[in-house]
Amino acid sequence: MADPGYLRCRHGAAGPEVLVGGDWTLAHYRTVLRQVEQTRLDGEPRVDLGALERLDTAGATLLARLLGPARVEALARTAPELSAERRNLLQAVAAASERARATPEPTREPYFFGRLTIGLGAQISHTGHQLARAIAFTGLVLSAFTASALRPWRWRPAAVSRQLQHTALEALPIVALLTFAVGAVIAVLGITVLGRFGASIFTVDLVAYAFLREFGVVLTAILLAGRSASAFTAQIGSMKANEEIDAMRAQGLSPIEMLVIPRVVALLIAVPVLSFVAVVCGLAGGGLVTLLNVDVPAGRIISLYSDISLRHYLAGLAKAPVFAFVIAIIGCLEGLKCSASAQSVGTHTTSAVVQSIFWVIILNAVAALIYVEIGW
């Protein structure tokens, strides 16, 4: 076994020099490291590697620590006693040591408010990018819709009919059942509260105004946001994962015209129709509960319903096309964002539902403020 590596500093005829000898390998790492830590070199003494017997990466690292990466790099080029293998080893270790020195030290983690501000800024930036992308996609859809409207031979009534079946006909039972139940619950609350003042009969007006202006269209939009927006995202996302959309483009077909426009048109028809059904079922649920709990004939309840102005229903119905368009755009856009993985499809499907419900509620609040300002 070779002798452990050693260091010897001496004064030669040409000035101070360092003699490096022995076995500079991993087996003697601790011994050599101890000598390197105890050695302090002044200036740039000449290095004599003539007595060096064995050298590996561990020993080369210790040399770089002793002399510095730049000196080891120069030594690898100029030392005549080094073989080609040792030259390459020293150059590689010197380059790695130089990169390690150049790597900046990790910055101190910001305090709580700093992290909060950074996270808030990143979220605002992300939201801005997503909103800009949604606006650009809306422009593409409107452009394609206008171009298709001027070319009747490119209409796709079969696709629209199929989407109508999924979005309207199959959603009809759940919309009717849910709105009937919500109407009954509102009537129960109205009877409980208004009954204290002897005004239980006005529960009919409470249910009517609530469903005509708000609950009819909002509950329908939220149900379709969870049902249709998720379906749109999953369907288009699966097609993108299977490269079917790329195949459409290769054949000269427009994915927006083939996939997006039929779904948008279907929802533009389905949401107003289902909103009407929701209003009727909500009024029926509220009227039935009022009839069973308040001593008033059915004819009186119907007459109270008929006395309410039609503008309240139109105020609610005017929001239906807006909600339908937003839900369809979000569902289709999230589907087109999907990548070729099941996880991406699931993530964007969840995002489509959350965004659709969020924007339905926000737009409904904005519409309520507008109605108050214009006296509706």
Distance, CA of 297 to CA of 287 (rounded, Å) = 10
pLDDT digits (tens, 9 = 90+) for 177-226: 999 999 999 999 988 888 888 888 888 888 888 888 888 899 999 999 98
Which range has the worst mean pLDDT, 24-38, 270-284, 316-330, 342-356? 24-38
pLDDT (0 to 100) of residue 327: 93
Helix extents (H) in the chain: 29-38, 57-67, 69-78, 84-102, 112-149, 157-164, 172-194, 203-210, 216-224, 230-241, 244-250, 255, 261-293, 298-306, 310-317, 320-337, 342-374
Q: How many residues does the chain have?
A: 376
Q: How far apart are CA 282 and CA 307, in angstroms?
A: 17
Cα–Cα distances (Å) from 42 to 15, 39, 82, 198, 351, in that order, read 12, 10, 24, 102, 65
Winning range, highest mean pLDDT, from 50-64, 88-102, 303-317, 321-335: 321-335
Q: What is the pLDDT of residue 12?
A: 62
Mean pLDDT estimate for the chain: 84
pLDDT score at 324: 93
**More confident position, 360 or 310:** 360
pLDDT of residue 33: 81
Place of tokens 């009819």: 216
pTM of the model: 0.67
d(CA 316, CA 94): 74
pLDDT in tens, 288-330: 888 888 877 777 778 777 778 888 888 888 999 999 999 999 9
Q: Which two tokens stand for residue 338?
A: 């999907």
Residues 302, 196: contact at Cβ < 8 Å?
A: no
What residue ranges of the chain are covered by domains with CATH 3.30.750? 6-102
State whether residue 109 is helix, strand or coil: coil
Q: Which residue has the tokens 């002798």?
A: 3
121-158 pLDDT, tens digit each: 888 888 888 888 888 888 888 888 888 878 877 788 88
- The CATH number of 6-102 is 3.30.750
Amino acid (one-letter) located at 375: G
Q: In the prediction, which pLDDT does 109 show? A: 63
pLDDT of residue 359: 92
